[in-house]
């Protein structure tokens, strides 16, 4: 499943969410707009990188609820069976 995350389709899924929020979401600390940047996720001894909204200055991450409860939850469930 970790591999599946990196397929083209899934990248598009993640990017779609990013574009909706990009521009309106700013990093409180640095006051700059968040951009889609790779972040490392780790779960049950596996890690993988994926683009989500981040502050280019300080690296702050933003994971919206629909991503956490949608695609991420699916991948989590799959990893729990591995």
Partner 1 sequence: MEKYLPNFKKCIQKEPPFCTAECPFHLDIIDFIEKIKTARFNAAYKLYKNAVGFPEIAASLCHAPCKNVCPITNNPIELNLLEHAVIENAGIKEPTDYNLPKRKQKIAIIGAGISGMSCALRLSTKRYDVSVFEKIDRIGGELWDIVDPEIFRKEFDLQFRHLSCEINLQTEIRSLDELKDFDAVYVATGKGGSDFGLLQKHLDKPCFMQEDTGIFAGGSILGKEKIYAQADGLKMATTIDNFLRTGNLIYTPDPKGTNTILDKERLIITTRVTPANKSSYTEEEAISEADRCLKCQCDACRLYCDLTEYERKWPLRIRDEIQATTLPGFSEVKATPAKRLISACTQCGLCVETCPKDIDIGGLILEARKSMHRQDKLAWVFNEFWLRDMDFTNGPMAGLVKGSPGSNELCKFAFFPGCQLGAGEPDLVIKSYQYLLDREKSTGLILGCCGIPAEWAGNDDKLNEEISRINTAWQTLGKPTFVLACPTCANHLKKYLPDIPCVFLYEIMDKEGISFSGNSLPVKEYPGTYSVFDPCSTRGNRALRESVRAIAQKAGYKLKPLVHQEKYSSCCSYGGQGSIADPGFAKFVREKRIKESDYPYICYCINCRDSFVEEGKSAFHILDLLFGNKPSNPTVTKRRENRIFLKETILKDFWGEEMEEKKKSYSFRLFVNEDLKKKISNDRILEEDVMEVLEFCERTGRTVYNKNTGVFSGYNMVGHMTLWIEYLKKNDESFELVNAYTHRMEIELEDVWNGEKVKHEK
Query: Residue numbers of the site for partner 1 (CB under 8 A)?
Result: 21, 24-29, 34, 39-45, 47, 53, 55-65, 68-69, 72-73, 75-76, 79-82
Q: How far is the CB of 32 from partner 1 (least distance, A)?
A: 10
- Closer CB to partner 1, residue 8 or residue 82? 82
Handedness of CA 25, 31, 37, 40 (dihedral sign): negative
* Distances in whole angstroms, Cα of residue 6 to Cα of each of 24, 25, 31, 63: 26, 25, 30, 17
Q: How far is the CB of 19 from partner 1 (least distance, A)?
A: 15
């Amino acid at each position: 499943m970790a591999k599946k995350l990196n397929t083209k389709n899934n990248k598009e899924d993640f990017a779609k969410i990013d574009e909706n929020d990009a521009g309106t979401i700013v990093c409180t600390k640095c006051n700059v707009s968040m951009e889609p940047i790779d972040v490392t996720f780790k779960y049950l001894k596996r890690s993988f990188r994926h683009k989500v909204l981040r502050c280019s200055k300080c690296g702050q991450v933003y994971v919206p609820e629909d991503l956490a409860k949608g695609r991420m939850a699916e991948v989590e469930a799959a990893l729990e069976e591995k």
